[in-house]
Chains A and B, each alone.
Chain A
C-alpha cells in the first residue's frame, strides 16, 4: 500500500504550511482518500470550510503521517465525505450551515448548527437572508409500545444545553438522537480578522474545561505558521499546566460519574481533591483554570520557586488520598454493579470514528496526541498511555484513574528537570503562513488550523473539539441500556457541548 503522502505530487503542496503538508487536490484524489477513510486505512482528523474551498485533515494509520487536502469548489459543491464515511456527516452539515457548501450525496439533508435563529444563512460563506425554517425532523423509531422522552435543551442540573430525544421501550433505550448547536457562539467567525491576543482568548474559551489544551493548540498552530518555536522553559510550563488541567478534570469526572450512581460520598471526596488542584493552579499561575496563561510564543506567566514547591507538595499529598478513594470505588460492589458492562462502546466504532481520549482508549484505540503525532516536551519523557478494551463505563473510569497517576508522575518529572531561561518570544509579523496543531486535552485530541495574514492577524482559524467524534458514539453506546443508566453513560463520555457547537 502506497502511503498517502507519496501520492501527492510535490507541485500541489502549498508552501509555507507547517508542520504537515497541505495539498490542493482534484476530485479523483479526494475520492480516493474518502475511500481510504471508509476502508479504515485513514482516520478523519477534521473537515472544515472556507467560502470556496473545503479542507480535510487525515491521519495515515500506517505511518502516523498527517496531511491536509484542499478541494476548490467554485460551484459551492463538493463530493460528500459522509456519504461513504459516517463520522463526517455532522461536520458536513455544519459546513453547509456556515458556508453554504453543498456536500453532494450527503444522506442527511437536515441543518445542524443553524436553528433558523441567526440574522442570515451561511454567515461565513457570504450570507443570505434567512428563509422559512422547517421544523426539525427527528429520525423515526417505530414499533409496538415505543414512546419518546424529549430532554432539553435545558437540563435538570448545572449542565450545558443540548437536546436528547430518547425512544424507549419500557425501561430500555431503543434509540437516542442528539440535537446540538444550542451554544454555537460563532467562534470561527469572530476569529477572522482578530489580532493574535484576541484570537488566543477566544480559542481558550472554546471549551472552558480544556482552556489550557485549546490555548496550547492555538499557540502551536500559530507558531508553526510563523515558523518559530516557544522557549524550552515555556514548553515545560505549558505541559505542567496541561497535566494539572487533566488531573483536575479527571478528578471531577470520576466523582461526578459515581454521583450519577447515587454515590455522593465519592463526589464529595473527589471534589475536595479537585479543589486542591485548582487552588494550586491559582497560586502558581494566577488563575484557577489557567485561562490565558498559554499564549502564542510561550506563556504569559513564569513559575517561581515557591510555586514549584507548591506543585511538588500537591503531588505528594494527592497520591495517598487518591489511592484511598480509588480503592473505595473499586471495592464497592453496589457501585461497580452500575458501571461494569454499562454503556459499552464497541472497539470497531471507536476506531471508525477516530475517537480520542478516554472514550477511545477504553475501547482499545490507543491514540494519544502527546505520542502520535507527538509534541515537545512529551517526546523526551517516558509515560504510559493506558488502553483498556471492555468499552464500558467502568473502563472509562479506569482510563481516567490511570491517567491521573501518569499525569502526577509527569508533573514530578517536569518539575525535576525544569530548564531556566525566557518564557516567551515575540511572533514576527510579516509574510503569510499556515499552521496546524493536534494537542491532547483531558477529553481527547484538539485540532487547530490557522492561516495568518501579512498584518499578523488571523485570516481563518478552525477549531475541532474531540467531542465531534464522541457525541455520535454516545448514541451507539447507550442503545439497549436502561433510561436510568443514561446519566452514567453520558457523564462517562463527558462530551463538550460548547467545544462541539463552536
Chain B
C-alpha cells in the first residue's frame, strides 16, 4: 500500500477538467435562484439522493461522480445522509406509487431554499415505465422540479454539467 501511495504522490492527478455548465440547464434555471438563496449557500450545495423506482442505472452513474476522475466534491457539491442537511434533492426513477409518500415527506423535510433535480428519462416522464398501474410517471408534479437532466442513464459528464449549471445559477443571479 505504501508503494502505491508513494507512486500516487509523483503522478499527475487522475481528476479530469470540469465540463462547461450545460447551457440548456442554465436556461431552465434562469431566474430561479434569488439573492437570498445565493447569500446563504455561496457556491456550495448539499445533495440528497432519492430513488423513487429507478432501475439502479442512474445510481451507478451518480456513484461514478464520486470517483477520482470526476471528483464531484471539488465543486463544493457533496451528497449528504439526511434531507434536513440538503439544499438539493436529486430524484431518480419513474416515481412508483409505493414511493410517492416517501418522496413527499422527504421534500417537506428539506429546508428552504431548496431545489429538485430530476435525473434520467424516468424521472422526467416515467420513461419506459410510463403507463402502468404501479408508476405515477415522472417526479413532477408530486414535487416541483427545477432542473431535468435527461438520459438513460445520463453519463457522469452530463450529470456534472447539469449540476454545475445549478451552482452557476446560484452564484450569478441576484
Contacts and interface: CB of A to CB of B under 8 A. Distances in A.
Interface of A: 115, 117-120, 123, 153-154, 156-161, 181-187, 189-190, 198, 201-202, 205-209, 211, 252, 265, 268-269, 271-272, 274-275, 278, 282, 288-289, 291, 324, 328, 331-332, 496-498
A208 B1 contact: no
B132 A186 contact: yes
B58 A208 contact: yes
A190 B54 contact: no
B69 A115 contact: no
Interface in B21-73: 49-64, 66-69
B133 A161 contact: no
A115 B98 contact: yes
B128 A208 contact: no
B65 to A, nearest CB: 9
B49 A208 contact: no
A425 B79 CA distance: 46
B99 interface: yes
Residue of A187, A190, A208 with most chain B CB atoms under a 10 A cut-off: A208
Contacts of B58: 208
> Taking each of A115, A183, A186, A497, which has the highest tally of chain B beta carbons within 10 Å of its own beta carbon?
A183
Please list the 5 inter-chain residue pairs (A to B) with the smallest Cβ-Cβ separation, ordered nearest first. Answer: A208-B57, A186-B134, A156-B81, A186-B132, A208-B55
Nearest to B106: A154
A120 B133 contact: yes
Nearest to B105: A154
B134 to A, nearest CB: 3
B55 to A, nearest CB: 4
B133 A181 contact: no
A498 B55 contact: yes
Interface in B123-174: 128-129, 131-135, 152-153, 155
B66 A183 contact: no
Interface in B69-105: 69, 79, 81-82, 93-94, 96-102
Given A181-B98, A183-B96, A272-B69, A160 B51 contact: yes
A223 B136 CA distance: 33
B12 interface: no
12 contacts: A117-B101, A154-B106, A159-B51, A161-B51, A183-B98, A202-B128, A205-B129, A208-B60, A271-B64, A271-B66, A274-B67, A291-B152
